[in-house]
Amino acid sequence: MSDSLVPVKEIEEKMETDKMWIIMGPQHPFSHGLWTLKIQVDGEIVTDAEPIVGYLHRGWEKEAENRIYPKIIPMADRLCYAASMTYTHLYCMTVEKALGIDIPEKAKYIRIVADEVCRINSHLMWLAAVGTDLGNLTVFLWAMREREYFLDLNVKLCGARMTTNYPRIGGVRNDVTELFDRDILRTVDRFEKAMWDIIALMDDSSIIVSRMKGVSYLTREQCANIGMTGPAMRGCGVDFDIRRDDPYDNYDKVDFEVPVLTEGDSYARYMIRIEEMFQSCDIIRQAVQKIRALGKNAPYRIKTPTKVPAGSAFMRMEDPRGESLMYLVSDGTDKPYRLKVRSPIFTNVSTSKVMCQGCRIADVPAILAQIDMCLGETDR
Amino acid sequence: MDLVVEYNSLLNFINFGELGLMDNAYYPFDTYNLPYAICYRLWEVLGGTIAWLLNLLFPDNGVSRWLIGEGASTLFALILFMLVMFIVVFVCTLISLWMERKCLGRMMDRRGTMVGMKGFLQCVADGLKTFMKENTLPGKIDRMTYMWTVSLVIGVSVLVACMVPLSARWYVVDYDTGLLIIMAFFALAPFFILVSGWAQNNKYALIGGMRAAELMISYEVPMLIMIATTALLAGSFNIGDIVYAQNDTVWFFIPQIIGFITFFFCATAESERLPFDIAEAEAELVEGWQTEYAGMKWGLIMLADYFRGYVACAMVTIMYLGGWTLPFIGDGPIPEIVFLLKTWFVFFLMILIRAALARVRPDQILNIGWKVFMPLSVINLAVVLLLKVGGVF
C-alpha cells in the first residue's frame, strides 16, 4: 500500500459524515394510514428506525364507557375497517363471557364464516398494499378485484360492505340470507382459482421474490420478546394460533391447518398470509356445511339482559393481523366500567426497528407491508 | 389505397426537389427534407399573403420584397419547420401516453382513461389541469438551480426526441455520428437530475438524484458497447446508413438477439420506467427527485419522461428493427408510419413489462448492470466480431 492511500475510516472521521434522519409519514405513500416512521440512514442503508403512532387516537375506550352495551357494537366495527367483523365478534364474545351465557350453535358457525370472510378481505387488502409497495400496480388491482367478491358476500349477509354491524350480544343480527351458502361456496371456489393468477404474478417473478427473500430476519426469541403475534410471528417459526390452541366459538369443530415457516424473513411472512387465505376457504366450506346441517329454523340469536353483572371478563381471538384481546370490567350497570382493547398491530409495529436495521431504504416499504398496518385499531 | 395515392400526389405537389428547392442557395439540408419542404410551401402561401397585403398598403415597399425573397423564406420556413417537428413528436408522445394508459388498464382489469376519443383527451385534460395549478416554490431552495435544472431536463428530452429521424426524408440533422449524438443528449438528463436533487432542500429529492446517478453508471456502459456493436455491424454511426444496412442484409435483431434484449432493458432504464424507475420510486421516496416540483413543472417533467420513452423505443427500432424499412419493400410509400408503428410496438413491450414486474432495488440494479448487462453486451460484441470476421456481414 502506498502512503497516498488514506484509510477510509480516517476520511470519515475528518469529514464528519452525519447520519440522516428521514421522516416517512404521516403523509407518505408507504404509510397506509396516518403514522410516521423515522428512519436513520447512512447512505442507502437504514441504521435505525422509530415508529410513531397516535395520529388517529379517538378515545375509543373512553367513549365506550359512556354507551350502553349494544351501542358499542357499531363502534367496534370502526376499530378495523378491513376486517370489521372480527372486532365486533370479539366484543360480543367478551360481553357474553361476562354474562356467562352460551349462544346457539348456528350463530357460532355464522360468526366463523363471517370471520373468515373478513380474514380473506383483510389479507387481500394487505396483498394489494404489498403490490404497490413493491412497485407493481397490477397486483394491487387484481387483489382489490378479488376483494370485491367478498365485500359482495358481506352485502349478501348483512347489507353493508365494510362497517357491517352484524354480530350481536347473544348471536348474530339475522340468519344467513337465502342462497347465501350457494353464493359463498361459488365465491370461494372462484377465489381459489383466481388466487393462482396473483401468485403467478408474485412468486414466479424473480424480482418480487428477491425483494422479499432474505431481508429483515426475525428470530423466534426476538418475536417473543417484542410480543409479535399473528402471521408475522408464524413466519418466524412460532407455531401458535388461538383458533387452534385456545379455540373460541366452534373453531375446535372445524378442521384446518396452521401454516408455519421457520425462515423468519419477509418472504416467509408473505407466504404465511397467502396460505392462510386458502385455509380460510377450507374453514368456510366446513362451516357452511355445518350451517346447512343445522337447518333453516335453527335459532341464531338469544335474548340477553341489558345489565352485565359486576365483575370482569377477557376474551382473545385470532385477528387477521394477530392476537386481539378485549378486557371488560363491569360495575353491574348497563354501561361498561372499563373496556380495554389490545391491538396486535400496536405491538407488531414496534418490531420495525429490529426489522429495518441493516436493510436499504427501498426495502422499508416492502418490510413494513408485512406488518399489515391498520391504524384504526392501533390508535383506538 | 386511395389514401396512399392522394398522399403521394400531395407529396408531388410539395416536392421542391423538382422545383429546384435544393438548388436554392440557402437550402439548409444536404438531401431532400419533407417537413422542410412542407414548411417552405406553407411560408410561400403565408409570407406571400402578408407581402401582398403590405404591398396593397404601401406599394412597392422593401419589406414585401424581402419577405418573398429566398433568405427570408428560408428563415421563416426553418422556424415553421422547428414547430412542425416538435408538434409531430409531441403528438406521437401523447399517443404513446394514451396507449400506455389504455393497455395498462386492460392488463390490470380496469378501463383506463375515459375522457373523449377513447380516452385520448385525458392527456389534454391533464395538461390543462397542471397548467392551471398554482406555481408553488418550496422554501429555502436554491431557486436558480431549482429552475434551470428542470428546464434542462425537459429541454434536453424534447431536443433529443425531435432529433430522432422518422425516415430518410424526415430528419432535423443528418450527421455521420447521428446515433452517438442522440445518445449523448439522451444521457445528459441524469446529471441535471442529480443537481436538481441537491437544489431542492428535500431529503427524498436528494436520494432520488443520487439514485439517478447510480442508475446511470449501471446501464450506460453496456448501452454504449451495444451502440458500438451496431455501428460495427453497419459500418457507420449514421442513422440512415444503419437502417439501410439492415435493409440490405437482415434486421440486426437476428444476429444481435442478445444485444437486442439487453439494449431493450437498458433503454427501459434510460427512460426511467418500471422496473428501473428507482430515481422516482414512489413507494419509498414519495416522488424521488420530482417531489418538490409542482403544477406545470411536474406536468412537463412527466411529459419529458414520455419523450424519453419514445426516444428509447425509437433507438431500439433504428438499431435492431430495421428503422423505417420493411423487408422486400424497402422504404415503401409512407416510411414515417412504418417507423412509428415499430416504435409503438417496442413501447407496447415496455408497457407489458411495467404491468408484470416490480421495481428493483438500487443495489440490485448495479448488480444487473455490471454482472448481467455488461457481460451480455461483451458477448454480443464478440458474436458480431466473429460474424464480421467470418464474412457473413
pLDDT digits (tens, 9 = 90+) for A198-207: 898 888 888 8
Contacts of B355 in chain A (CB under 8 A): 137-138
CB contact under 8 A, B358 and A30: no
**CA distance, residue A209 to nearest chain B CA (Å):** 10
Mean of the pLDDT values across residues A9-30? 79
Q: Tell me whether residue A33 is in a domain.
A: no
Mean pLDDT over B362-389 rounds to 90
Asked if residues A163 and A78 have their Cβ atoms less than 8 Å apart, the reply is: yes
Residue B14: pLDDT over 60: no
Residue A327 confidence (pLDDT): 93
| Rounded Cα gap, residues B76 and A152, in angstroms | 64
CB contact under 8 A, B363 and A363: no
pLDDT the model gives residue A79: 87
Per mean pLDDT, which range of A140-149, A321-330, B95-104, B173-182 is the poorest?
B173-182
- Residue B209 · residue B279 · CB < 8 Å: yes
Contact (CB<8Å) B284/A141: no
- Full domain range(s) for residue A311: 61-355
- The answer to whether A220 and A79 have CB atoms below 8 angstroms apart is no
Contact A135 B110 (CB under 8 A): no
- Cell numbers at A303, concatenated: 335474548
Burial of residue B123 (CB within 10 Å: 0-12, 13-18, 19+) is buried
Q: Does A183 fall in a domain?
A: yes
Select the residue of A28, A135, A145 nearest B358 (Cβ to Cβ): A135
Q: pLDDT over 90 for what percent of chain B?
A: 21
A30 within some domain:
no
Residue A40 inside a domain? The answer is no
Q: If DSSP codes are grouped into helix, strand and coil, which group holds residue A195?
A: helix
Distance in angstroms (rounded) separating the CA atoms of residues A22 and A30 = 13
Q: What Cα–Cα distance (Å) separates residue B348 from each residue in A103, A296, B344?
A: 59, 55, 6
Average pLDDT over chain A reads 87
B107–A contact, CB cutoff 8 A: yes
Q: Looking at residue B11, what is its pLDDT?
A: 60
Whether the per-residue pLDDT at B360 is higher than 50: the answer is yes
Q: Smallest Cα–Cα separation from A71: which of A340, A336, A377?
A: A336
User: What residue in A sits closest to B205 (Cα-Cα)?
Assistant: A22
Confidence of residue B15 (pLDDT cuts 50, 70, 90): low
pLDDT value at residue A6: 64
User: Which parts of B357-373 fold into alpha helices (H)?
Assistant: 362-367
Tell whether A249 is covered by a domain.
Answer: yes
Residue B147 has pLDDT above 70, yes or no: yes
pLDDT of residue A1: 44
Q: Which residue has the higher pLDDT, B71 or A324?
A: A324
Cell of A190: 372462484
What's the mean pLDDT in A258-277? 90
Element counts in chain B: helices (H) and strands (E): 17, 0
Judged against a pLDDT cut of 60, whether residue B17 lies above it is answered with no
CB pair distance less than 8 Å for A363 and B361: yes
Domain for residue A41, yes or no?
no
Could you tell me what percent of chain A has a pLDDT over 70? Answer: 97
Question: pLDDT band at residue B32, thresholds of 50, 70 and 90?
Answer: confident
Q: Quote the CA–CA distance of A243 and A228 in Å, as a whole number.
A: 17
Interface of A with B (CB under 8 A): 20, 22, 24, 28-30, 44, 131-138, 141-142, 145, 201, 205, 207-208, 210-211, 360-366
Residues of A in contact with B205 (CB under 8 A): none
Chain B nearest-CA residue for A143: B108
pLDDT at A3 over 60: no
Q: Which of A222-226, A277-281, A351-355, B279-283 has the lowest mean pLDDT?
A: B279-283
Going by pLDDT thresholds of 50, 70 and 90, the confidence category of residue A188 is very high
Task: Evaluate whether residue A112 is within a structural domain.
Answer: yes
Q: Please give the grid coordinates belonging to residue B13.
A: 405537389
Q: Record the cell numbers describing residue A374, joined without a space.
A: 391498520
Conformation bin of residue A239: beta by default, left when phi > 0, alpha when psi is -120 to 50: beta
Q: For A23, name the nearest residue in chain B, comparing CA atoms only.
A: B203
Q: How confident is the model at residue B2 (pLDDT cuts 50, 70, 90)?
A: low
Mean per-residue pLDDT of chain B: 86
Residue B165 has pLDDT above 70, yes or no: yes
> At A276, is the secondary structure helix, strand, or coil?
helix
Over range A365-370, report the average pLDDT. 86
Counting residues of chain A whose pLDDT is more than 90, the rounded percentage is 18
Residue A277, pLDDT score: 92
Does position B5 have pLDDT exceeding 70, yes or no?
Answer: no
> Is residue A300 over pLDDT 80?
yes
pLDDT of residue B316: 92
User: Considering Cα of B154, then B157, then B163, then B164, what sign does the dihedral take?
Assistant: negative
**Lateral strand order in the sheet of A36-42:** A20-24, A36-42, A45-52
Measuring CA to CA, which residue among A100, A315, A28, A285 is closest to residue A38?
Answer: A28
CA distance A315 to chain B (A): 37
Task: Flag the least confident range among B6-15, B131-140, B290-299, B306-315.
Answer: B6-15
A chain contacts of residue B363, beta-carbon cutoff 8 Å: 44, 360
> What region, left, alpha or beta, does residue A27 occupy, with left being phi > 0 and alpha being psi -120 to 50 degrees?
beta
> With bands split at pLDDT 50, 70 and 90, how would you rate the model's confidence at A332?
confident
Instruction: Give the pLDDT mean for A307-335.
Output: 89
In this structure, what DSSP letter does residue B121 have? T
ipTM of the complex: 0.84
The three grid cell numbers given for residue B321, joined into one nine-digit string = 428493427
B241-270 pLDDT, tens digit each: 899 888 888 888 888 899 999 999 999 988
What crossing angle do the helices spanning B189-199 and B143-163 adopt, rounded to 10°? 160
Cβ contact B361–A362 (<8 Å): yes
CB proximity B203 to A under 8 Å = yes
Q: How many CB atoms lie within 10 A of CB B129?
A: 12
In a domain, A65, yes or no: yes
Minimal CA separation from A12 to chain B, in Å: 19
Give pTM, 2 decimals. Answer: 0.87
Quote the minimal CA–CA distance from B102 to chain A in Å. 13
pLDDT in tens, B219-246: 888 999 999 999 988 888 888 889 988 8
Give the helix, strand, coil percentages of chain A, each rounded to 5: 50, 15, 35
| A114 has pLDDT over 80 | yes
pLDDT band at B98 (very low <50, low <70, confident <90, very high): very high
Q: What is the CATH number of the domain that holds A318?
A: 1.10.645.10
| Radius of gyration from C-alpha coordinates of chain B | 23
Domain count, chain A: 1
How many CB atoms lie under 10 A from the CB of residue A267? 23
- Banded pLDDT at B347 (limits 50, 70, 90): very high
pLDDT at A4 over 60: no
* Cβ–Cβ below 8 Å for B203 and A364: no
Look-up of cell digits 390452541: A245
Nearest to A185 by CA among A156, A165, A162, A163: A156
